[in-house]
A and B are shown apart, each in its own frame.
Chain A
Amino acid sequence: MKVNIANMANSKRLNLRFGLRSKLLLLSSFLFVIPWFGYQYVWEMEKYLRFGQEQTLVGTARALATALHEREKLFNNQASFLPNVEQGKDLYGYKLTEAVNLDGLANDWPDFNQRTHFYNQQQQLFANEPLSLNFKASVGKYNNYLYLFFQVVDNRVIFRGENTRSISNNDHLALSFSDANNKLNRFIISNKKAGWISAFALADDSAIPAPAPQIQGHWLPTPQGYNVELRVPLDNLGDNIAFAFYDVDKNNGEAVSAIGSADPSNEESLGTIVVPSPEIERIVKGMRYTNSSIWVVDQHHRVLASAGSLKSASGVWHAKEQQPKEEEKNSLWYQFKQQFLLPLYYKILTKPSTDFIDQLYDAQHLQGSHIVNALGGKATSQWRLTTDKKALVLSAAYPIFINNQVKGAVIVEETTNGIRSLRNRALEKLFTVILAIMSLGALTFILFASRISSRIRQLSNQAELAIDKQGRIIGQMQASNSNDEIGDLSRSFTTAVNRLSEYNHYLENMSARLSHELRTPIAVVKTSLDNLSLLENQQAQTDKSNNPYIERAQTGIKTLNLILTNMSEATRLEQMLSSTEKIDFDLQQVVKGCISGYQQIYPAMQFNLNIDVNTPKPSTFLMHGSPEHIVQLLDKVVSNSVEFSQDNIITIELKKSSNKHDAELLISNNGILLPEQLSESLFDSMVSLRDENQKTQDKQAVPHLGLGLYISRLICQFHQGSISAYNHQNPAGVTVHISLPTKV
């Protein structure tokens, strides 16, 4: 029994450490595999999307290239036929996105410093004196004008004299270009003062220069020299151009040196100019709806046309993010998503940046192995990171063939931002769904586990409550109606407990039943003996012999009868208790009366009654119950104590319990101690501690059935009290402790 209890305690501790709930939670952690699979799946999807994007991009490049194949005219204009280009001489007109102000200041030229070319003695045309001149030049195209900007460093700036006819005896700019008909136009810009420029056209046949109002601009003196900013209408402009600055160091002097892109007076030596071609651009414009950034380059990597910007080129997969409707924005779910979920997701995910910087291409010149490959006649695509590594760019290049020769290439670029935001949205949804499934699943699991463990715990509590420490059935178990295994367990427990309780009941009633069954045969023997003794008596009167056997048999029958009466006492008591009415009485008075009675019954014993002197009122021990039965209880306990007493002193103590609700009665005798294993079951039916020695010493020869203390317990239970016995030391003995609730 004790071992069992220890086992139960052990398993209970184990249960706490690793209960059903935690086991189920552990199992449910396999749910975490689902998001991982989802994540993998989305990654896989992204891979395929990228592959698709690559194909689409190559397709776009091919489509555009197809539109440009074999269209010589588009490229002839553009000096693309040159086998090579010479920096500074062959010029590139950058495409300006906004009109520039003709004020001589460079601040409205975008990226002026990167896009200028520096001219010094390497480009000098002649020098009669040591060079005191250099300049920077930048060329741009806006609308129908070619804009030129020159930043000239000159030690002495000589303007044209007020009354000077000559236009070349001062610092001046010579500008020559061929027109659409390949006819050379020559101009000289020669100012009398700073401000609007004065341009003169030089004609071959006439020596008199004529003003050229179509060339407009501004001449601005600077601390280092002067700036010239001017524009030429594009419809006059052919493919060739040259400009040169002539330096004059004294008033009305001859030019001492000149620096320029080429000799403006020599038609053969003129350099070329490339400006983004409006025709090609028109074709390319048709492709700008593809969400790509598109370039067309000539074989010198110079940009002929471009459309779209890489920042908005996020690919065909890019769908405009739908702005949520107003009511949707106000919904709790949206708020929750924005405030909690999305920040959480983006701890893992990265938002594609639209703020990246890509400096790989300058606007004039495109570099890259894919372009080299394309110009070599091979279509290629490549993945690369932007220079700040914030975005991944997909580039495809496709060659343009004219007369079986590669004359240029189409380059199409897109970022993967479209795919990435698509992936992010997919993952957002996936995460939301998974989060919902997992929290729902976990909740269900926890609820389920809690339900099961609480049911099992309830069952175990019930089982523990049904059987007390002594193994007595003290309550009925409620069978569960549920149809599952726990219900089965509960039902079989209930059946077991019920059967056990029936068996216990049978055992407890056994003595009563036995006594009832024995009563009739005993009555037969008894009446027969009585009759016999009557006959004997009549005979005895005649022959005066006395038969001692009848008397002995009668004594034996009497004892047998007494045993039977005692055996059924407990059952009769139970029946009586069930019909006993409770009345109010003073326990103190009952105890006092009983003790004085015992003193008479057991004259050899000394009874010491200690009633707690601290009790304030006589009504402290007022009880509601049956005083007769309390007396019976005292009778049983005291007679027990008397039998076991060795020094003939019985101490009875009556006091209030610490919680003030119970009266405590302690009856102690000094004598042999209770054996350990019996102290719990002492109050059970038919348990007796009297050993063989004592039985033989027992002078009264009253049979002991071990029912006395069982009856005591029945009476205590009837009064909602308790009874227990324990050993005390110095002097060694046994104390019976009775606790009865008082009426408060």
Chain B
Amino acid sequence: MSKRIAIVEDEAAIRENYADVLRSQGYQVQTYADRSSATQAFNLRLPNLVILDIGLNDEYDGGFVLCQQLRAKSATLPIIFLTARDNDFDTVSGLRIGADDYLTKDISLPHLTARISALFRRQEALKKPINDDHITRSGALTVDSQRMSIMWQNRSIDLTITEFWLVHALAKNPGHVKNRTQLMTDSKIYVDDSTITSHIKRIRKKFMQHDSSFDCIETVYGMGYRWLSANNIADDEG
């Protein structure tokens, strides 16, 4: 059974373009131009994934409202914001009210489809029993590449797909400096340097909610970031 994806987007051309590409990928796509029609449809039946724009016609924050309603109906429904608004404030707000990812419209379609399939994969994986083959441990960090989840000191850290890819890219080679371009490629986004900086900051905060002494992501000024495992820290001190 193919997955059903709902796109809520007021700009018809973009909406149809996205719908076309997703349909060509084999998904069932339903498109809505405004919040009221989308709400009606979602009341009848929930899709498997929702792509939301924030501004919907006259409603400046219509996407946010819709996201809250959907999150109330289902805690696990993957929700992606795809919007022209690239400021930090909207990003933080979107992720805080429960979106699984926040993307700007300059993302390329292959990147978008890669994310969507990653989200579905993660959902699938959650239903399956934990398979140790996909789990790598490094000190306090546990990465489950199948479920796309991260554990720190055996506690799950709730990360978006983009954030997971970033941490995954860093933690794969502890001690190696990854510059921003490399990180962008690995996390399948194309943004400017300061957006990477704010992503890294958000990731640090999420880790520090569980462990206030977390300092494994080090900024290498002028170059990028690297993951410091316990061994690396010991090396540095030695």
Contacts and interface: CB of A to CB of B under 8 A. Distances in A.
A576 B222 contact: no
B106 A564 contact: yes
Given A597-B221, A597-B223, A530 B88 contact: no
Given A524-B17, A595-B222, A575 B88 contact: yes
B89 interface: yes
Contacts of A233: none
Interface string A561-578: 100111011011101100
Contacts of A566: 192
Interface in B180-238: 190-195, 197-198, 219-223
Nearest to A598: B222
Interface string B66-110: 000000000000000000111111000000000000001110111
A569 B222 contact: no
Nearest to B195: A572
A530 B106 contact: no
Interface in A545-574: 561, 564-566, 568-569, 571-573
A598 B198 CA distance: 22
A424 B38 CA distance: 105
Interface in A494-533: 516, 519-520, 522-524, 526-528, 530-531
A559 to B, nearest CB: 12
Interface residues of A, number: 40
Given A564-B106, A632-B194, A527 B21 contact: yes
B20 interface: yes
Contacts of A572: 86-88, 192, 194-195
B91 to A, nearest CB: 10
Q: Which of A531, A566, A593, A598: most chain B Cβ within 10 A?
A: A531
Q: Which of A579, A591, A631: most chain B Cβ within 10 A?
A: A631
B172 to A, nearest CB: 21
B192 A530 contact: no
B24 interface: yes
Contacts of B17: 524, 527-528, 530-531
A482 interface: no
A575 B20 CA distance: 36
Contacts of A561: 106, 190
Contacts of A632: 193-194
Contacts of B165: none
Interface in B13-66: 13-14, 17-18, 20-21, 24
Contacts of B86: 516, 519, 565, 568, 572
A628 interface: yes
A630 to B, nearest CB: 8
Contacts of B124: none
Interface in A150-177: none
A523 B14 contact: yes
Contacts of A627: 219, 221
Given A523-B84, A572-B88, A576-B198, A530 B223 contact: no
A527 B109 CA distance: 7
A579 B192 contact: no
A597 B222 contact: yes
Contacts of A595: 222
Interface of A is mostly: helix
B80 to A, nearest CB: 15
A45 B110 CA distance: 112
A511 to B, nearest CB: 13
A632 to B, nearest CB: 7
Interface in A573-623: 573, 575-576, 579, 589-591, 593-598, 600
Interface in A119-157: none
A571 B106 CA distance: 18
A534 interface: yes
Contact of B222 (A524, A530, A579, A596): A596
Given A569-B194, A594-B222, A631-B221, A534 B106 contact: no
B194 A576 contact: yes
A710 B182 CA distance: 27
A569 B197 CA distance: 13
B115 to A, nearest CB: 14
Nearest to B104: A519
Nearest to A599: B222
Contacts of A716: none
Contact of B105 (A519, A593, A631): A519
Nearest to B196: A628
Contact of A516 (B18, B85, B108, B220): B85
A528 B13 contact: yes
Given A526-B106, A527-B14, A531-B20, A573 B223 contact: no
A531 B192 contact: no
A610 to B, nearest CB: 17
A531 B21 CA distance: 6
A597 B219 CA distance: 12
Q: Which of A564, A571, A579, A628: most chain B Cβ within 10 A?
A: A628
Interface string B136-149: 00000000000000
B20 to A, nearest CB: 5
A597 B198 contact: no
Contacts of A565: 86, 106, 191-192
A540 to B, nearest CB: 15
A738 to B, nearest CB: 15
A569 B87 contact: no
A516 B84 contact: yes
Contacts of B109: 527, 530-531, 534
Contact of A579 (B11, B88, B190, B194): B88
A631 B220 CA distance: 10
Given A527-B14, A531-B21, A576 B88 contact: yes
A631 B224 CA distance: 10
A634 interface: yes
Given A565-B106, A576-B194, A628-B197, A634 B222 contact: yes
Contacts of B84: 516, 519-520, 523
Contacts of B85: 516
A520 B14 contact: yes
Given A534-B24, A561-B106, A632-B193, A600 B223 contact: yes
A676 to B, nearest CB: 33
Nearest to B191: A565
Contacts of B195: 572
Contacts of A600: 223
Contacts of B88: 572, 575-576, 579
Given A524-B13, A565-B192, A519 B106 contact: yes
A593 B221 contact: yes
B221 A530 contact: no
Contacts of B13: 524, 527-528
Contacts of A576: 88, 194, 198
Nearest to A561: B106
A590 to B, nearest CB: 5
B64 to A, nearest CB: 17
B192 A569 contact: yes
Nearest to B25: A534
What are the 5 A-B residue pairs with the smallest beta carbon separation, nearest first? A597-B222, A594-B222, A527-B17, A593-B221, A523-B105
29 contacts: A516-B85, A516-B86, A522-B105, A523-B14, A524-B11, A524-B13, A524-B14, A526-B108, A527-B17, A527-B109, A530-B17, A530-B108, A530-B110, A534-B24, A534-B109, A566-B192, A571-B87, A572-B86, A575-B89, A593-B220, A593-B221, A593-B222, A594-B222, A596-B222, A597-B220, A598-B222, A631-B221, A632-B194, A635-B193
Given A528-B13, A569-B194, 20 more contacts: A516-B84, A519-B105, A522-B106, A524-B13, A527-B13, A527-B109, A530-B108, A530-B109, A530-B110, A531-B17, A565-B192, A568-B86, A571-B87, A591-B221, A593-B221, A594-B221, A597-B221, A597-B222, A597-B223, A631-B221
Interface of B: 11, 13-14, 17-18, 20-21, 24, 84-89, 104-106, 108-110, 190-195, 197-198, 219-223
